[in-house]
Amino acid sequence: MRALIVLLLLLWLAAPARADEARPLYIEGRAISAQQLAFTWRIPPGFDPRIAPDLHLPTDCAQEQGRRSWSDGLGHWNSARWNCEKPLRTRPITIRYPDGNPNLATIFKAHPLGVDQPTVGVFLPQVAEFAFPAPGEVTSERGMLLDYLVLGLEHIWIGLDHLLFVACLIWIAGSIPRILATITGFTLAHSVTLALAALDLVAVPVRTIEVLIALSIVFLAVELARGERETLTWRYPITVSIGFGLLHGFGFAAVLGEIGLPQDGLVSALFAFNLGIEIGQLLFALALILLTRLVVLAVKWARGEAQFSRRLAALPAGPRLIIAYVVGTTASFWMLDRMA
């Protein structure tokens, strides 16, 4: 009975995880003229097409007949055109879900009139309104680099699968020197494959990579549940971070592929995006180490123990098992969902 209760609890915790992955709602808008716009939007695979949102433009904009809907391996798509009495410019566009946003972030890619390079925005699930850029609006090179840095930072924070992988690495590494070596290995590895894929030097199936990324989290969760042992993962976590880091780089590249890279300044934009990922990853690691230390102190204080481990991110057995089972169940759910 106890095992059944634990299983139900884990499934309940994992159920909303589908919407927390790094697969966002994707919207692309193109200005055909000052008052006519075409939008295409897509929800990720694994979601019921009936939860797909509608786009609502200002009241003077009328949707043309001939709206299209279709599904493929990338998800469920909708496409429609609007005619507006006034130029849309920077007036708001609203995303409305039938039953509320299932916690999907949004990537919005806009092609305003008179601009070769599209503008891109990434919005958290709480944001349901955005604006179409004004015609001829051009971003400076410095502004473009800042945009891509912010995009990388935002992506790592909405990418729960990548964060869970990093968290497991930190808990297994334990001490600061091992954490630094492990995170450095992960950073170097995913930077290589991110660059190779983003520059079209290597092409891999996105669905396969997503399944393998989920599997990498399951693997680390199992290692975490078993506790410190004489395995390669526990003795040399950097080897695991490098090996699986190559997979995660392809995952980052898949999202960057949807956003797109500018023809001018391609390498610098790629560097800025990767730098944003690293900054977000570093902030997450610091916050996790601090939180883990507070948990350890609380457990030691409750037990009346005076000795403390020098391994700042080493979890006590109880919390370690709970976390490992929750992470493993969530990642297993993702893996099966992505294989479907």
In a domain, residue 144? The reply is no
In a domain, residue 27? The reply is yes
| Confidence label for 165 from pLDDT (cuts 50, 70 and 90) | very high
In a domain, residue 308? The reply is yes
Q: Are residues 212 and 289 in the same domain?
A: yes
Judged by average pLDDT, the poorest of 112-126, 186-200, 224-238 is 112-126
222 pLDDT higher than 80: yes
Residue 45 DSSP symbol: T
In a domain, residue 168? The reply is yes
Q: What is the pLDDT of residue 10?
A: 43
Is pLDDT larger for residue 156 or for residue 299?
156
In a domain, residue 217? The reply is yes
* Count of structural domains, the chain: 2
Q: What is the pLDDT of residue 217?
A: 96
Q: Are residues 164 and 50 in the same domain?
A: no
Find all residues with CB under 8 Å of 218, minimum gap 6, and list them.
Answer: 328, 331, 332, 335
Q: What is the pLDDT of residue 3?
A: 41
Q: Are residues 176 and 133 in the same domain?
A: no
Q: Are residues 82 and 178 in the same domain?
A: no
7 pLDDT higher than 60: no
Q: Are residues 27 and 171 in the same domain?
A: no
Provide the whole-model pTM: 0.72
Q: Are residues 180 and 237 in the same domain?
A: yes
Kind of pairing between the strands at 54-56 and 25-31: unpaired
Distance of CA 182 to the CA centre of its chain: 21
Q: Are residues 206 and 178 in the same domain?
A: yes
CA atoms of 329 and 337, how far apart (whole Å): 12
In a domain, residue 12? The reply is no
Q: Are residues 173 and 253 in the same domain?
A: yes
| Gap between the terminal Cα atoms of the chain | 30
In a domain, residue 334? The reply is yes
2 pLDDT higher than 50: no
Q: pLDDT digits over 296-323, tens only?
A: 787 777 777 656 556 667 777 888 899 9
Q: Are residues 225 and 100 in the same domain?
A: no
152 pLDDT higher than 90: no
Is pLDDT larger for residue 21 or for residue 244?
244
Q: Are residues 316 and 193 in the same domain?
A: yes
In a domain, residue 88? The reply is yes
* Last residue of one domain, picked from the residues 84, 108, 138: 138
Q: Which domain holds residue 202?
A: 157-339
Q: What is the pLDDT of residue 137?
A: 54
CA atoms of 61 and 82, how far apart (whole Å): 6
Q: pLDDT digits over 258-293, tens only?
A: 777 766 677 888 899 999 999 999 999 999 999 888
